[in-house]
Amino acid sequence: MGSKNGKPVLTEEQAEALAASSGLDATQVREQFDAFVAEHPNGKMKKKDFREMMQKAMPKKDASKMEGHVFRIYDTNNDGVIDFVEFMVVFYIMSDGTPQEVLSKIFRVFDVNSDGTINKKELTRLIKDMYGLINSDNPEQASKEFIAASAFTEMDKDADGKITNEEFVNACLGQEQFSKMLALKIIDIFVEDDA
């Protein structure tokens, strides 16, 4: 994304690339860009704006504890804001991506310090923050500590104390009970409630 006189600009190449990857045509991409810039005049969505978007997307769920984690999915360059290209890439992957692509993005939710792996402390922290989402479906659900330990054991196949993106994706696709439940709870954030 470029800038002209301090105003965000979507180049023709970016519009074409996003059109090719998103299933939208270049005109629709430009319309989405114009809507994004109308909402965020400097072309960057701040955490406050993201919080409001999460509250609209999840009015019946407690999104506040999850917003920082979900923000990481979008903020791929870790600059503290989401630009239009980052936003569109995640939008496309969450709506039309392969299960592997979706799970690779979701991995960023679990990788709290963005070092490319998940350790037990990160997983435990995330489950503590997710517990409201998990517990709302099943109040008899297992304890946070049990879920964290079970999920970590499922995912950490080589038992080296760290979960790689590949181990995470494989555990979720392998239908491992706790891994799958956690991934589905994150995916749930992106899927509209039909109720």
Give residue-wise pLDDT tens across range 135-146. Answer: 555 555 568 788
Helices (H), the chain: 12-22, 26-39, 47-57, 67-74, 84-96, 99-110, 120-137, 144-155, 165-173, 177-190
Last residue of a domain, one of 61, 96, 131: 96
Confidence check: pLDDT of 23 > 60: yes
Q: Are residues 115 and 90 in the same domain?
A: no
Residue 169 lies in a domain: yes
Percent of the chain with pLDDT over 90: 23
Q: Are residues 79 and 166 in the same domain?
A: no
pLDDT at site 5: 58
**By residue range, what is the domain housing residue 118?**
98-195
Q: Which residue has the higher pLDDT, 76 or 133?
A: 76
Residue 1 lies in a domain: no
Q: Are residues 83 and 114 in the same domain?
A: no
Apex 186 CA angle, 85 and 21, nearest 5: 30
Last residue of a domain, one of 96, 125, 160: 96
pLDDT at site 57: 66
What CATH number does residue 165 fall under?
1.10.238.10
Q: How far is CA 133 from CA 42, 100, 112, 125, 141, in A?
A: 33, 23, 18, 14, 11
Which structure tokens are listed for 121?
């402390």
